[in-house]
Amino acid sequence: MEVKFPKTMMKCLKPALREVQNQEQTQEIRLSDEMPDIGRVVGAWAQPITRGKEWRGDSVGCSGGCMVWVMYVPEDGTRPQILDTWIPFQMKWNLPSSMPEGAAQIDCRVRFSDARSVSPRKILARVGLGALAEAYVPMEAEIPAAENLPQDVQLLRRAYPMQLPLELGEKVFTIEEEMQLPSSAPALESVLSYGVTPRATEQKVMSGRLLFRGDTNLRMLYLGEDGQVYSWDFELPFSQLSQLDSEYGPDAQADMTLGVTELEVNRDEDGKLRCKCSMVGQYRVTDRHNLELITDVYSPCRDVQPQMAELEFPAILDNGSMSLLGEQKLPVMANIAADTRFLPDFPRNTRTEAGFNSQLSGQLQMLYYDENRDLQMASAQWEDNAQIPTGEDAKLYSNLQGMGRPDMTAGGDEVKLRWPMEVMHTTMGGQGIPVVTGLQMGEEKTPDPSRPSLILKHQTAGGLWELAKNSGSTMEAIRQANGLTEEPEIGTMLLIPVL
392-421 pLDDT, tens digit each? 888 889 999 998 899 999 877 889 999 999
452-485 pLDDT, tens digit each? 677 777 777 778 899 899 888 999 999 998 998 8
212-229 pLDDT, tens digit each? 999 999 999 999 999 999
Query: From CA 349, how far away is CA 363, in angstroms rounded?
Result: 19
Model pTM score? 0.87
pLDDT at 301 over 80: yes
Query: From CA 228, how far away is CA 467, in angstroms rounded?
Result: 81
User: Residue 268 — pLDDT band, cuts 50, 70, 90?
Assistant: confident
pLDDT value of position 134:
94
Looking at the DSSP bridge assignments, the partners of residue 340 are 366
Give the CA distances from residue 379 to residues 152, 182, 328, in Å, rounded to whole numbers and listed in that order.
Answer: 74, 29, 11
pLDDT value of position 410:
85
Report how far apart the first and last C-alpha atoms of the chain are (Å, whole number).
22
Do residues 45 and 167 make contact, with C-beta atoms less than 8 angstroms apart?
Answer: no
User: Residue 78 — pLDDT band, cuts 50, 70, 90?
Assistant: confident
pLDDT at 451 over 90: no
Average confidence (pLDDT) over 242-254: 95
Query: From CA 87, how far away is CA 26, in angstroms rounded?
Result: 8
Q: Among candidates 53, 120, 51, 107, which has minimal Cα distance to 81? A: 120
Looking at the DSSP bridge assignments, the partners of residue 339 are 367
User: Residue 430 — pLDDT band, cuts 50, 70, 90?
Assistant: low
Average confidence (pLDDT) over 266-292: 92
pLDDT at 316 over 80: yes
Q: With H, G, I as helix, E, B as strand and everything else as coil, classify residue 470.
A: helix
8-62 pLDDT, tens digit each? 999 999 999 999 999 999 999 999 999 999 999 999 999 999 999 999 888 999 9
Average pLDDT, the chain: 91
pLDDT value of position 334:
85
- For the beta sheet containing 229-243, the strands, ordered from the edge strand earlier in sequence to the opposite edge, are 188-206, 209-224, 229-243
Query: From CA 203, how far away is CA 249, in angstroms rounded?
Result: 15
pLDDT value of position 499:
73
User: Residue 450 — pLDDT band, cuts 50, 70, 90?
Assistant: low
SS (H, E, C) 188-236: EEEEEEEEEEEEEEEEEEECCEEEEEEEEEEEEEEEECCCCEEEEEEEE
pLDDT value of position 317:
87
Query: From CA 274, how far away is CA 490, in angstroms rounded?
Result: 71
Do residues 320 and 255 make contact, with C-beta atoms less than 8 angstroms apart?
Answer: no
Q: Among candidates 195, 194, 193, 189, which has minimal Cα distance to 228? A: 189
User: Residue 2 — pLDDT band, cuts 50, 70, 90?
Assistant: confident
Give the CA distances from residue 22 to residues 2, 25, 47, 128, 392, in Å, rounded to whole numbers and listed in that order.
Answer: 55, 10, 15, 7, 30
pLDDT value of position 393:
81
156-192 pLDDT, tens digit each? 999 988 899 999 999 999 999 999 999 999 999 999 9
138/269: higher pLDDT: 138
Query: From CA 430, how far away is CA 393, in angstroms rounded?
Result: 5
Query: From CA 281, how far away is CA 346, in angstroms rounded?
Result: 19
* Domains of the chain, first to last: 451-499 (3.10.350)
**Which of 279-283, 294-298, 454-458 has the weakest average pLDDT?**
454-458
Task: Give the residue ranges of DSSP H helices in 316-462.
Answer: none
- For the beta sheet containing 81-94, the strands, ordered from the edge strand earlier in sequence to the opposite edge, are 38-55, 59-74, 81-94
pLDDT value of position 15:
92
Q: What are phi and psi of 293, to 5 degrees?
A: -120, 145
